[in-house]
Structure formats: C-alpha cells, structure tokens
C-alpha cells in the first residue's frame, strides 16, 4: 500500500532524510519512531505531497507521488502535528467545509459526516466553535477531517502529542478501530505509544532507518545473551550451585532476597532456553519456584542503543549487540548507520 524507495530530502547542507526505503502493507499500523529532529515529519510531508523530495520516490495505493500527486492526495488522509483547524467555525461547519473541498456530493457529505461524528465521538461538541475545544477534542476533530473522504491510507504525525494519558488512550483506540479499514503510518517519539499501537516499527535516526521490525522482533535483537529471572524459596547456596549446573546456563548472579526467597539472574548461551530445566531442578529438590521468566530489553533500551552514544550524547552507532531483522522481509539497518 505504501512503497518508499531511496527517499532523500536535503536543505542546503542539512540532510533531513537520507535515502530511506520501506514498505507498509494494507491493513498495517506502522510507526516511525525517532528522537526530535530525526526526519520523521519531513518524510511524512513528502509522502503527503507537502514537500518535494530531493531524490527518490514513493508509491501510495499504487500511485507515484510525483506523477500522480492528485490521485495520491485523494487516497490519503493526513493529520499534521500542528493539526491546523478553522478556529472561527463550529465543529459541524469545519466538517461541511472539508467535505465540499474533498468533492463529496451533498448526500455523501451528510452520510460521511454522521459516520465520522460517531467514530470520533464528537456528538457533544458539534455546535461548539473550534477555538473552545479541548486538546483532546481538537485531535478527534483532526482525525475526523482526515478520514472524512474515506481514504485508503492514513498518515498521522504525532497524533497523541500533548494529550493526557486518558486522551492518548482514546486516540490509540480510535487508530486501532480504523486499522480494520485503513493502512496507517504514524510518527511518534512516545515509546509506549509505538509499542501499543503499531504492528511494526521503523526506528529512524538522523534521517536513516536504523532498524525495523515488530516490537517483539526488535526486542529479540537486543544486545547481550538471553537472561532469565528466577526466584526460588530454599537454601540460597544450594540453589546457586544447582542453577550453575543447568545445561545452557553460562552465569548465575544472586540478586538478593525478596520475602526470604533468593532471587537470581541467569545468563544463557545464545539460542538456549533453560526454563524447563530450572523448573525440573526445583521439582527435584522440592524447592518452591516463585518466578521464572525470560527478561527482554524494553523498547526504550533498544531505542537508546540505536540513537544514544555512551555518555548520553546523540550518536550514530548502534550497540554492537544489535543485529538487523531478516532481510527477507525487507527490514534491517539503513546503509551508513555507522556514521554520517
């Protein structure tokens, strides 16, 4: 549904978008995740026809953004980060104006306005002027305007920026409801939003795609060996010795005690999963197993590995332990991530 090939945007000496390529399939919610200034907004503005690229191209719903820009715009709904609205009009008047600008007939306009009012939970504010709307309702109205012409593709730039947690949840739920009928590409720097809302994540840094995959795939790419958190009620030293003898375990660290039960961190060899052996060990010695879980890197840790150098400075080198996802899915590192 969205195909981007070697897209580049340069402002004088600044390379805002640096040869990015990616695909978004029909029905996917894909997030562009990156720090401020990473190139997310520039990329979205190019895809929606607001900016011309310096080089490269993209196809949306099968149409080239250069050669068929009007067809692309007919098939795309766009919510900009600033969410520009007609402040002096009522919510209903805004919807009617956009319906006319989108070329909807009077019958289509009435039907679609009623549909988006319900979908975006706007009945309570239909008579209010936009200038009196809360931030949450303004975002709902922005989404309603973006989907009013029933586009195939939604492009959303920071759709929950500035919202309180309850409002963020409402917008995320709305995006999930739209997913059944739309392809969604959204940008965000809110890690929890990307993890909850997106089927797949593209981490963008300094204009390049640093990594790509589902949240689970990105977690599997985290640096370091597999780790297992274990808490067993019993004699600490005997448990420590037993865990050191479990096949596949390379290191055991006593983390302390919690409620009189020692807690351990196990490191395993690559590809090893010692959970069953740990369970059998506890059964064998009649120890009480209180916790047994694989520890995975959070999206925040992965994000920092890809975008922050040691010492806290913004960097260009990912952690050496991170590896790209399978190239068969067209995912992985952008070229030149090691430095620009």
Reading the chain (340 residues) residue by residue, the pLDDT tens digits are 999 999 999 998 899 999 999 999 998 999 998 888 889 999 999 999 989 999 999 999 999 998 999 999 999 999 998 888 999 999 999 999 999 999 999 999 999 999 999 988 899 999 999 999 998 899 999 999 999 999 999 999 988 877 888 888 888 888 888 887 889 999 987 777 788 889 999 999 989 998 888 887 887 665 567 789 999 999 999 999 999 999 999 999 999 998 889 999 999 988 788 999 999 999 999 999 999 998 766 667 777 777 764 333 333 334 334 434 333 333 333 333 333 3
CB 58 within 8 A of CB 8: no
Indicate the pairing of strand 200-205 with strand 208-213.
Answer: antiparallel
Give the CA radius of gyration of the chain: 25
Q: What are the strands of the beta sheet with 261-268, ordered from one edge?
A: 249-258, 261-268, 227-233, 288-295
Q: What pLDDT was estimated at residue 61?
A: 93
CA angle 317, 321, 327 (to 5 degrees): 85
**Domain 227-295 CATH assignment equals 3.30.70.100:** yes
CB 8 within 8 A of CB 17: yes
Q: What pLDDT was estimated at residue 324?
A: 40
CB 322 within 8 A of CB 306: yes
Task: For residue 254, give the 3-state DSSP assignment.
Answer: strand
Q: What pLDDT was estimated at residue 57?
A: 92
- 2-220 shares its CATH topology with 227-295: no
Pick 2-220's CATH classification: 3.40.50.700, 3.30.450.20, 3.40.50.300, 3.55.50.30.
3.40.50.300
CB 1 within 8 A of CB 60: yes
Q: What pLDDT was estimated at residue 162?
A: 76
Q: What pLDDT was estimated at residue 174?
A: 84
Q: Tell me the domain boundaries of the chain.
A: 2-220, 227-295
Q: Which structure tokens are listed for 198?
A: 């997106």
Say how many Å lie between the first and final Cα of the chain, rounded.
31
Q: Which of 220, 226, 223, 282 is nearest to 251 (CA)?
A: 226
Task: For residue 10, give the 3-state DSSP assignment.
Answer: strand
- What is this structure's pTM? 0.73
String of b and e for 221-242 (b: at least 16 CB within 10 Å)? bbeeebbbebbbebeeeebeeb
Residue 9 CA to residue 194 CA, distance in Å, equals 25
């Amino acid at each position: 549904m969205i195909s981007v090939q070697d897209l580049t945007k340069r402002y004088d000496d600044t390379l805002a978008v640096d040869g990015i390529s990616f695909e978004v399939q029909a029905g996917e919610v894909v997030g562009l995740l990156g720090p401020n200034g990473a190139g997310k907004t520039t990329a979205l503005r190019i895809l929606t026809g607001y900016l011309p690229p310096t080089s490269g191209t993209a196809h949306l719903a099968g149409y080239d953004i250069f050669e068929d820009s009007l067809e692309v715009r007919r098939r795309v709904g766009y919510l900009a980060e600033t969410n520009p609205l007609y402040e002096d009009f009522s919510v209903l008047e805004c919807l009617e104006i956009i319906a006319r600008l989108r070329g909807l007939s009077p019958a289509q306009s009435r039907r679609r306005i009623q549909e988006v009012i319900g979908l975006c939970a706007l009945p309570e504010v239909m008579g209010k002027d936009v200038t009196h709307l809360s931030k949450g309702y303004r975002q709902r109205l922005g989404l309603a305007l973006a989907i009013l012409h029933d586009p195939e593709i939604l492009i959303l730039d920071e759709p929950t920026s500035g919202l309180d947690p309850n409002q963020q949840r409402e917008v995320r739920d709305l995006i999930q409801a739209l997913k059944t009928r739309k392809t969604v590409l959204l940008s965000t720097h809110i890690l929890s939003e990307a993890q909850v809302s997106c089927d797949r994540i593209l981490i963008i840094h300094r204009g390049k795609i640093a990594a790509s995959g589902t949240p689970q795939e990105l977690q599997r790419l985290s640096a370091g060996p597999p780790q297992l958190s274990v808490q067993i009620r019993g004699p600490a030293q005997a448990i420590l010795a037993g865990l050191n003898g479990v096949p596949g375990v390379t290191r055991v660290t006593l983390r302390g005690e919690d409620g009189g039960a020692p807690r351990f961190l196990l490191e395993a060899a690559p590809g090893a999963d010692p959970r069953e052996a740990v369970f059998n060990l506890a059964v064998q010695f009649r120890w009480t197993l209180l916790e047994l879980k694989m520890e995975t890197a959070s999206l925040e840790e992965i994000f920092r590995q890809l975008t922050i150098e040691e010492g806290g400075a913004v960097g260009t080198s990912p952690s050496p332990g991170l590896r790209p996802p399978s190239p068969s899915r067209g995912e992985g590192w952008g070229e030149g991530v090691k430095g620009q």
